[in-house]
Amino acid sequence: MSVNYPELAARIASLIHGETDEVALMATVACELHHSDARFDWTGFYRVVGPELLKIGPYQGGHGCLVIPFSRGVCGAAARTGETQLVPDVDAYPGHIACASSTRSELVIPVFGANRRLIAVLDLDSDQPDAFTEDDADRLTEILDATFGQL
């Protein structure tokens, strides 16, 4: 199964219409994304909760790491640099944090609110190697911008 991104974006937009609470938005987006594609083994957000610090937010899948500093792992790199991290093989990524031993590849996208304020990162883990593409990253960034860009 692969994601029908236009349909997914329309479904999310319909579900969140008028909602401005960041956590409610994250919960809805995580649920819709997680169930949209079998590649998505763990789908969730790590919220910016302090200087250089991420804390787990709404997610779908097994347990995740509770706290991640900007200085560690793929999620930290996305938060620190403000750039999407596409990792085809987590075992080859220096400093990867193994929150789940089943993870083989990862896609982490920074989530920005108004004025490019970093709100969180979206973390997608897959139990398949090389599961994510640049197209996934681009389409998901569009959904995140539409969802959170005005907050």
> Which DSSP string corresponds to the chain?
----HHHHHHHHHHHHTT---HHHHHHHHHHHHHTT-TT-SEEEEEEEEETTEEEEEEEESS---SEEETTSHHHHHHHHH-S-EEES-GGGSTT---SSTT--EEEEEEEE-GGG-EEEEEEEEESSTT---HHHHHHHHHHHHHHHTT-
Instruction: Give the pLDDT band of residue 1 (cuts 50, 70, 90).
Output: low
pLDDT 10s digits, 54-63:
999 999 999 9
- Position 95 confidence tier, pLDDT thresholds 50, 70, 90: confident
CB 117 within 8 Å of CB 76:
no
Residue 102's pLDDT is 87
Which tokens sit at 128? Answer: 């398949």
The answer on pLDDT for 120 being more than 90 is yes
CATH of 5-148, one of 3.30.450.40, 3.40.50.720, 2.60.120.10, 3.60.20.30: 3.30.450.40
The confidence score (pLDDT) of residue 100 equals 80
| Span 40-46, average pLDDT | 97
pLDDT beyond 80 at 4: yes
Would the pLDDT of 67 be above 70? Answer: yes
Give the mean model confidence (pLDDT) for residues 122-145: 97
Distance CA 8, CA 29 (A): 10
CB 54 within 8 A of CB 75: yes
Q: Is the pLDDT of residue 150 over 70?
A: yes
